[in-house]
Structure 1
Amino acid sequence: MKLAYWMYAGPAHIGTLRIASSFKNVHAIMHAPLGDDYFNVMRSMLERERDFTPVTASIVDRNVLARGSQEKVIDNITRKDKEENPDLIVLTPTCTSSILQEDLENFVTRASMDTKGDVLLADVNHYRYNELQAADRTLHQTVKFYLDKAKKKDELPTDKTEIPSVNIIGISTLGFHNQHDCTELKRLMAELGIAVNEVIPDGASVHNLKNLPRAWFNLVPYRELGMMTAEYLKSEFDMPYVDITPMGVVETARCIRKIQQVINAQGAEVDYEKYINNQTLYVSQAAWFSRSIDCQNLTGKKAVVFGDNTHAVAMTKILAREMGIHVVLAGTYCKYDSDWFREQVSEYCDEVLISEDNAEIGDAIARHEPSAIFGTQMERHVGKRLDIPCGVIAAPIHIQNFPIGYKPFMGYEGTNQIADLVYNSFTLGMEDHLLEIFGGHDTKEVITKGISAGSDLSWDKEATGELGKIPGFVRGKVKRNTEKFARERGFAVITLEVMYAAKESVGA
């Protein structure tokens, strides 16, 4: 059994809690031991929000284990219903509490008899699904619950909106730049003359879910969250959906053209070509930048891309198609959707890697020795150890990826943000070298042993000092070549002599 010390996607209950806490006036109750109740701390630390509904933990302790938790869970549900007056209470176990195999559906049924608001059990297999899959399923379950309820009460609208309208599906709390992307998507829709019918789940009311079928189409910007809901609305209400992520000049234009096709198929007559041309030439600076001398200097440079499906695919296409950068490896940790990922990126990169193993990804990066990495915060840590700059493009993310300033990745403003990210990532190594020359910061004394935990090489003081004299933007490559040389010849300690021998072996 392998210990997972770095996880790309959290456990299933985190996905459920993200959906529940994204809606307005929805309260989540987590049936869990004390060690699992970190969601409120994580969210309040990361999200730039003035107010949000905290999650309640119904704690599993030794007393519960002795007599069962039915009464405690029911009491917590009815108490929160009276205190908070929520429209909906979502109950979710965690992986740990699921071991008890309790009949939580029965708990929900009993509690519903005494609550004013609705009560729903998140129907997610906590052993089979991760955070992203659980979020997708919880959103689908919630939408279906309220549309079925509206049907039974004969409250389901049958008419479409007068002008073309859209539901934006998948904007969630704790998502990578989700709120910024949502603002940009709303602006994009307004400029196209499309009304936004609903945005779910973030900031939405469950009472408005019955209005979802009134929209002309659904837009699913993130493949990880919203596809199940879009598929359900298509099969149940014949609602078309657009699942092209509008990231980068080419894909944003392709998304808009698909929207045009969907709207015109329903009787409208719209033509967005002039809009696309104007935005590409004059609003997005990316098209101009790709022809500038700065971007041409990046042509052919090697990059590694890794992240969730949505952002890794988009960034791979942008680097290869729009900026002429050589993507030596594109990868994702969304193993459950690997076929789609391979289909999307295969023609734009040399190698595809589908993995949840951070060490395997780190070793692949070290093997390829790219000039820049575009990945998650975990790849940024790998880059730090290898002296390779990294631009963060996907979750898992750090507090610095929840900026107060406006930084969308989608739409035409998003193209500008991405161009800046790419350029700054590639030029960071040279900046570090100049800082070292002019005394901006001290040269690093500590030399890491490598990415894989199994590395047994060490550097003596003289070799460490010599390595520190090498310019920062090539130091990582020299270090890796020296360690490879030492490993092949069985040296356990790298000395000055080993360094010089390694240098001669590569003809440097």
Structure 2
Amino acid sequence: MKLAYWMYAAPAHIGTLRVATSFKNVHAIMHAPIGDDYFNVMRSMLSRERDFTPVTTSVVDRHVLSRGSQEKVVDNITRKDAEEHPDLIVLTPTCTSSILQEDLANFVQRASLEAKADVLLADVNHYRFNEMQAADRTLQQIVQFYIEKARKKGNLVTEKTAQPSVNIIGISTLAFHNNHDCTELKKLMGELGITVNAIIPEGANVDELRSLPQAWFNLAPYRELGPMTTDYLAAEFGMPCVDITPMGVVETARCIRKIQTILTAGGADVNYEDFINEQTIHVSQAAWFSRSIDCQNLTGKKAVVYGDATHAAAITKILTREMGIHVVWAGTFCKPDEEWFRKEVEGYCDEVIISDDHGLIGDRIANSEPSAIFGTQMERHVGKRLNIPTGVISAPIHVQNFPIGYKPFLGYEGTNQVVDLIYNSFTLGMEDHLLEIFGGHDTKEVITKGISADSDLGWNKEAQAELNKVPGFVRGKVKRNTEKFARDRGQTTITLEVMYAAKEAVGA
């Protein structure tokens, strides 16, 4: 175990709470000590929610530790049932409750005898799973719970709709541009003549879950949330799934063609080729822009990409295939998706990095000297330190990445938004030329230590001043060569003498 000030994926209970609070009229009880209850503040602040976050913390304190927490947890469940009248109450454990080895399943069983609402334990191992894995498992458990409940009551809806229909699975609170993506997907389905049967979990009532099987297919655009649910529905009802993320011109067309294949197999007479051509040529500006003189300025520019598996893979393909940008390396912190991610980006980048170590990622960015970074909020901070422009393309994110304006990443309007983000993240034209002439942004101090905490070298005033004189586009390389020279010789401080010696050693 190591202490870190940054985590790309939150603990498991955050994933469970994200799913629970995405549904309508569902309340979550979190069994945790004070300090773990930051989800309410985070959701209200980051996603700018107007409603009260339906989460109650059943606090683990010294009284609980001395006499057990069953009575308190059950009381909190029944009290919220009487006050809020929810359809479902989800009890989520935390690392603390796991350490105490409490029988939360028994707590739920007891509370179910008194509560009018359904009560469900989010059965997630908090030592094995992170936020995204827990969210995926929790959604599948809730769906399965209501499918089985409907089956027992005899009101499960399995007959397919007369017209083609779809379930959009994986839209949730606190996710990257999810609400805007959802709006774009609904618009896209409408233009394809497909009825949206259900959208889960965001904005859905749990009673709607019994009608999921009546859709012709499921659409799961995100790798991080939805696959377990679509696998369950495929196993139970043979429902096909489209899991291609419609991000970028090429992948959006591929997604639509897979939908066409499924609908044709189901007996529908559809052909979307004219629609794809019309959207690509006249609606999406991305295809036109990729042939413009502006995009030609990006040819040969180096970029690095890092984020969740879905967005990092999609952006890597857009950069390389649609905009002619050289992706030095692409990476993700979603370790369970390593095999899938490598397959997706194969041939679109020089190297693949699978790691959730922010220090390692920061160092790799510094060593790569890219013209632009596409990553999470953490990589944005790294870019500021290195004076490299950065586009945020994935969670974890900041409140500024929850735009009020309409900014989807999916569908044909999403292609325009993504292209704008990519193009505006580079330093181009006259600005780039002037920076080369005058040696970079001279108003900022040169970073003389590495991004990670492992750097053991410092620069004295004279050496730092000399480094500042080096043109910005080669400054990073000079700095690293000098530091390598010093380390090889056991030097701990960079002086003018060390700089000159390093320069002489490389024959510069």
- Post-superposition CA distance 1:71-114 (Å, at most 9, x none): 00000000000110000000011112210111111111111111
2:119 aligned residue: 119
Alignment of 1:62-101 (within 5 A): 62-101=62-101
Q: Does 1:335 align with 2:348?
A: no
2:381 aligned residue: 381
Q: Does 1:254 align with 2:254?
A: yes
1:176 aligned residue: 176
Task: Give the AA of the match of 2:363.
Answer: D
Larger mean Cα displacement after TM superposition, 445-454 or 167-176: 445-454
2:243 aligned residue: 243
Structure 1 CA distance for aligned equivalents of residues 273 and 312 of structure 2: 27
1:34 aligned residue: 34
Alignment of 1:144-223 (within 5 A): 144-223=144-223
Structure 2 CA distance for aligned equivalents of residues 501 and 294 of structure 1: 42
Q: Does 1:227 align with 2:227?
A: yes
Contact 1:482 1:502 in 2 (8 A): yes
Task: Give the AA of the match of 1:190.
Answer: G
State the Cα distance separating 1:462 from its structure 2 match. Answer: 2.7
Alignment of 1:469-480 (within 5 A): 469-470=469-470, 472=472, 474-480=474-480
State the Cα distance separating 1:345 from its structure 2 match. Answer: 1.1
Structure 2 CA distance for aligned equivalents of residues 284 and 240 of structure 1: 28
Task: Give the AA of the match of 2:316.
Answer: T
Task: Give the AA of the match of 1:455.
Answer: S
Structure 2 CA distance for aligned equivalents of residues 485 and 299 of structure 1: 33
Contact 1:389 1:428 in 2 (8 A): no
Structure 2 CA distance for aligned equivalents of residues 429 and 4 of structure 1: 39
Contact 1:430 1:472 in 2 (8 A): no
State the Cα distance separating 1:299 from its structure 2 match. Answer: 1.3
Structure 2 CA distance for aligned equivalents of residues 386 and 486 of structure 1: 21
2:459 aligned residue: 459
2:323 aligned residue: 323
Q: Does 1:450 align with 2:450?
A: yes
State the Cα distance separating 1:492 from its structure 2 match. Answer: 2.3
Q: Residue 466 and residue 27 in structure 1: after superposition, are their counterparts in 2 closer, same or farther (change >3 A)?
A: same
Contact 2:303 2:373 in 1 (8 A): yes
State the Cα distance separating 1:346 from its structure 2 match. Answer: 1.8
Provide the secondary structure at the position in 2 that maps to 1:30: strand
Structure 1 CA distance for aligned equivalents of residues 475 and 387 of structure 2: 7
Contact 2:172 2:202 in 1 (8 A): yes
- Post-superposition CA distance 1:358-394 (Å, at most 9, x none): 1122222222222211111112222222222221111
Provide the secondary structure at the position in 1 that maps to 2:425: helix
Task: Give the AA of the match of 1:369.
Answer: E
Contact 1:40 1:55 in 2 (8 A): yes
Contact 1:185 1:411 in 2 (8 A): yes
Structure 2 CA distance for aligned equivalents of residues 390 and 445 of structure 1: 19
Q: Does 1:293 align with 2:293?
A: yes
Aligned length: 508
Provide the secondary structure at the position in 1 that maps to 2:353: strand
Q: Residue 212 and residue 457 in structure 1: after superposition, are their counterparts in 2 closer, same or farther (change >3 A)?
A: same
Q: Residue 436 and residue 352 in structure 1: after superposition, are their counterparts in 2 closer, same or farther (change >3 A)?
A: closer
Task: Give the AA of the match of 1:95.
Answer: C
Structure 1 CA distance for aligned equivalents of residues 9 and 324 of structure 2: 31
TM-score by length of 1: 0.95
Contact 1:436 1:442 in 2 (8 A): no
2:348 aligned residue: 348
Q: Does 1:392 align with 2:381?
A: no
Structure 1 CA distance for aligned equivalents of residues 404 and 478 of structure 2: 39
Structure 2 CA distance for aligned equivalents of residues 115 and 35 of structure 1: 28
Larger mean Cα displacement after TM superposition, 73-82 or 472-481: 472-481
State the Cα distance separating 1:433 from its structure 2 match. Answer: 8.3
Contact 1:264 1:270 in 2 (8 A): yes
Q: Residue 25 and residue 472 in structure 1: after superposition, are their counterparts in 2 closer, same or farther (change >3 A)?
A: farther
Structure 2 CA distance for aligned equivalents of residues 374 and 23 of structure 1: 31
2:361 aligned residue: 361
Structure 1 CA distance for aligned equivalents of residues 427 and 226 of structure 2: 36
Task: Give the AA of the match of 1:346.
Answer: E
Task: Give the AA of the match of 1:426.
Answer: F
State the Cα distance separating 1:442 from its structure 2 match. Answer: 6.7
State the Cα distance separating 1:395 from its structure 2 match. Answer: 1.0
2:9 aligned residue: 9
Provide the secondary structure at the position in 2 that maps to 1:31: strand
Provide the secondary structure at the position in 1 that maps to 2:291: coil
Task: Give the AA of the match of 1:257.
Answer: R
Q: Residue 452 and residue 503 in structure 1: after superposition, are their counterparts in 2 closer, same or farther (change >3 A)?
A: same
Q: Residue 504 and residue 371 in structure 1: after superposition, are their counterparts in 2 closer, same or farther (change >3 A)?
A: farther
Q: Residue 441 and residue 325 in structure 1: after superposition, are their counterparts in 2 closer, same or farther (change >3 A)?
A: closer
State the Cα distance separating 1:218 from its structure 2 match. Answer: 0.4
Structure 2 CA distance for aligned equivalents of residues 101 and 493 of structure 1: 52
TM-score by length of 2: 0.95
Contact 2:43 2:53 in 1 (8 A): no
Q: Does 1:47 align with 2:51?
A: no
1:406 aligned residue: 406
Larger mean Cα displacement after TM superposition, 252-261 or 394-403: 394-403
State the Cα distance separating 1:470 from its structure 2 match. Answer: 4.6
Provide the secondary structure at the position in 2 that maps to 1:34: coil
Structure 1 CA distance for aligned equivalents of residues 430 and 331 of structure 2: 26
Larger mean Cα displacement after TM superposition, 74-83 or 445-454: 445-454
Contact 2:26 2:54 in 1 (8 A): no
State the Cα distance separating 1:472 from its structure 2 match. Answer: 4.8
Structure 1 CA distance for aligned equivalents of residues 278 and 196 of structure 2: 23
Task: Give the AA of the match of 2:268.
Answer: A
Structure 2 CA distance for aligned equivalents of residues 401 and 437 of structure 1: 33
Larger mean Cα displacement after TM superposition, 250-259 or 155-164: 155-164
Q: Residue 476 and residue 152 in structure 1: after superposition, are their counterparts in 2 closer, same or farther (change >3 A)?
A: same
Q: Residue 398 and residue 436 in structure 1: after superposition, are their counterparts in 2 closer, same or farther (change >3 A)?
A: farther
- Post-superposition CA distance 1:289-316 (Å, at most 9, x none): 1111221121122211111110111011
2:308 aligned residue: 308
Structure 2 CA distance for aligned equivalents of residues 434 and 165 of structure 1: 55
Task: Give the AA of the match of 1:303.
Answer: A
Contact 1:433 1:471 in 2 (8 A): no
Q: Residue 473 and residue 306 in structure 1: after superposition, are their counterparts in 2 closer, same or farther (change >3 A)?
A: same
What CA RMSD, in Å, does the superposition of the two structures yield over aligned residues? Answer: 2.2
Structure 2 CA distance for aligned equivalents of residues 151 and 272 of structure 1: 36
Alignment of 1:430-449 (within 5 A): 431=431, 443-445=443-445, 447-449=447-449
Structure 2 CA distance for aligned equivalents of residues 502 and 90 of structure 1: 62
Q: Residue 85 and residue 330 in structure 1: after superposition, are their counterparts in 2 closer, same or farther (change >3 A)?
A: same
State the Cα distance separating 1:48 from its structure 2 match. Answer: 2.4
Contact 1:433 1:473 in 2 (8 A): no
Q: Residue 420 and residue 366 in structure 1: after superposition, are their counterparts in 2 closer, same or farther (change >3 A)?
A: same
Structure 2 CA distance for aligned equivalents of residues 386 and 245 of structure 1: 32
- Post-superposition CA distance 1:2-56 (Å, at most 9, x none): 3233211111000000000000010000000002111001111100222243310
Task: Give the AA of the match of 1:197.
Answer: N
Q: Residue 485 and residue 101 in structure 1: after superposition, are their counterparts in 2 closer, same or farther (change >3 A)?
A: same
Larger mean Cα displacement after TM superposition, 84-93 or 494-503: 494-503
Q: Residue 477 and residue 424 in structure 1: after superposition, are their counterparts in 2 closer, same or farther (change >3 A)?
A: farther
Structure 2 CA distance for aligned equivalents of residues 210 and 255 of structure 1: 26
Structure 1 CA distance for aligned equivalents of residues 507 and 176 of structure 2: 45
Task: Give the AA of the match of 1:212.
Answer: L
